[in-house]
């Protein structure tokens, strides 16, 4: 069994427990020992961050090969067009290569906690809210994707990772769950030879003595 912590990471908090520059860290919110972030959430992003005390679970959550879908609520500058939405659904090309197609839809402005400080919103320019789902985890990927189609991200909140959801957690609040991990399959266990053996090679039977006649 493993313990997993679901934290609503506040804005401008690092996804780690220490910082030499005096910035806010997870240590101000999570008082559990021997838990570590599974993946990361940018300093200027908010929402769901998972922490665990199990290295195998940490790897499964953080590793893109396991393809856990991540759900974000994104506020962008401007009234986003159908063309931009379709570009995101098809995948866009960033400096580090093309993205996979995203699931995306418009949202009515959600009722959320007030961010401190609030977003910098230009007068007379509308904003749009989107729900965006991806299975990748590149650096600042969502922000780069919306900028690529002409609608910069103003606020970014992660609402879910796989089946884990933020639900009613407020900034800085967390809850813990117990996860039952499956046993390792035989292929995950590396064969190790015991001292004195011939490294797993088949042994030859000693020759039988010749009968004297």
The three-state secondary structure class of 147 is: helix
CB 115 within 8 A of CB 172: no
- What is the DSSP code string of 148-165? HTT--EEEEEEEEETTEE
- What is the DSSP code string of 185-196? PGGGSPP-PPTT
- Residues facing residue 158 across a β-bridge: 47, 72
- Radius of gyration of the chain from Cα atoms? 25
Active-site residue, from 42, 63, 82, 96? 42
44 as an active site residue: the answer is: no
Which residues 6+ apart lie within 8 Å of 74 measured at CB?
Answer: 129, 130, 131, 132, 142, 146, 153, 155, 156, 157
Nearest to 184 by CA among 63, 59, 37: 59
Report the alpha-carbon angle 89-92-96, nearest 5: 140
Residue corresponding to tokens 């402005």: 109
List active site positions.
42
């Amino acid at each position: 069994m493993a313990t997993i912590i679901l934290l609503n990471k506040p804005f401008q908090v690092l996804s780690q427990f220490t910082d030499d520059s005096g910035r806010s860290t997870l240590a101000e919110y999570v008082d559990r020992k021997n838990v570590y972030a599974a993946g990361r959430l940018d300093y200027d992003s908010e929402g769901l961050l998972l922490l665990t005390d199990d290295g195998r679970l940490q790897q499964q959550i953080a590793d893109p090969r396991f393809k856990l879908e991540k759900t974000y609520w994104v506020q962008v500058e401007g009234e986003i067009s159908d063309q931009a939405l379709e570009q995101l659904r098809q995948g866009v090309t960033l400096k580090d290569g093309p993205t996979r197609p995203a699931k995306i839809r418009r949202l009515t402005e959600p009722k959320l906690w007030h961010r401190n400080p609030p977003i910098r919103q230009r007068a007379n320019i509308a904003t749009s809210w989107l729900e965006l789902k991806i299975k990748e985890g590149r650096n600042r990927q969502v922000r780069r994707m919306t900028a690529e189609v002409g609608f910069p991200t103003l606020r970014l909140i992660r609402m879910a990772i796989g089946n884990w959801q933020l639900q009613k957690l407020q900034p800085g609040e967390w809850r813990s769950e117990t996860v039952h991990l499956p046993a390792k399959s035989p292929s995950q266990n590396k064969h190790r030879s015991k001292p004195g053996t011939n490294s797993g090679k088949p042994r030859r039977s000693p020759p039988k003595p010749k009968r004297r006649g």
